[in-house]
Homo-oligomer: A and B are copies of this chain.
Amino acid sequence: MTMVPKGYRFAVAAAGFKKADRNDLGLILSIGPAVAAGVFTTNRFQAAPVLVCKAQLAESPVARAIVVNSGQANACTGEEGLANCRVTQEIIARAARVQPEEVLPASTGVIGAQLKMDLWEPAALKLAGCLGRATPMDVAKAMMTTDSFPKLVAKSVQLSGGEVRVLGMCKGAGMICPTMATMLGFVICDVDIEPKTWREMLTFCADRSFNALTVDGDTSTNDTVIALANGASRVRADSKADLELLRQCMLEVCQELSYRIVQDAEGGTKVAHITVSGAKSHPQAEAAARAIGNSPLVKTALFGCDPNWGRIVAALGRSGAEFEPDDVVLKIGGILVFEKGQPAPEDLDALLAPVMRHQDVKIELTIGPGRGTFTLLASDLTKRYVEINADYRT
């Protein structure tokens, strides 16, 4: 894989957090100090690793390692969970020969249980032994919980000073599956870049990818995206043109990862691409897109391949976005469905039947003359989703 950013090593280990003999611990190590940025869940309940990462990054935008475990989320674990998280930083730091504060921790799995601390020392030894012999895909697999496939995307981009590589991996299927806590994403790059610029770039990309999808509208206690840039390519990005090229590359990586999360939605069979434009503001466009993408009625209609414009329009109507009903134009799969407060006169069911059978369904709404726009990826709501989430523990 020539796309792997330079100057990173990977390791995985089977610690036994949930099942024996399954890799459930992953390490991404930068050979030198890397510029680090993170975006985290806005949930009021934040898992211990989220609190630790946020504190760490507030103190210094430099890190050497990301350590991720699946099986245990270390969320809703109080002071003890926080202390445990700091101990795991120390254990991993010793194994990776870095400083504890250079290790950014992330956890996913069952919430409410304390970390099984006795498993960490032996697992760290295994990690150290494996270092350099694992691939990014191994790490992407180790962080899976209910995911049905690993999610990894790598791209490169030619900047004025040379080529740099961006690699992203993530896990996530339902937002909080059983008592799982959930979306984790890591982006690594070998560009040389200013911390402030890197942070802004991550936020820009996350807002248009990981923050622009919905499976069930729930956000978890552990959601984390961390981005590292270690400069190992010796290519510096600071001109406006280079930064735009890099940002576009990072955005593509993040958006492809997001698409795979929705594609892998629990029980999901469809990916709806919902674009609202012409709103008074971006937040209003987002509110409208989310009302539609989270509506159980819209989602069940998608599952049933039913071009049910009435549900889309009604969800828009209660979204809180301001608009004149007569201004609304709705297209599904490019076909005009609703306009001037009324459905189009054609036989919509017949026209739309082939569109609705695709995995990807485009839903486009123009709601007025404004400039606000937002695109959301949404999964459908299926019997299998209910089964997975109702029957998990029984």
Contact = CB atoms under 8 A, between A and B. Distances in A.
B216 A304 contact: no
Contacts of A112: 309-310, 342-343
A41 to B, nearest CB: 8
Contacts of A249: none
B76 A342 contact: yes
One complex includes copies of this chain to the number of 2
Contact of A313 (B45, B305, B309, B386): B45
Which size bracket describes the interface of A in this complex?
A: 35 or more
A325 B295 contact: no
Given A42-B318, A296-B218, A314-B219, A305 B394 contact: yes
A217 B393 CA distance: 26
B338 A389 contact: no
A192 B101 CA distance: 74
Interface in A269-316: 294-297, 300-301, 303-306, 308-311, 313-316
B316 A76 contact: no
B342 A304 contact: no
A392 to B, nearest CB: 7
A386 B382 contact: yes
Interface of A: 42-46, 75-78, 111-112, 174-179, 181, 216-221, 294-297, 300-301, 303-306, 308-311, 313-318, 321, 323, 325, 338, 340-343, 349, 381-383, 385-387, 389-394
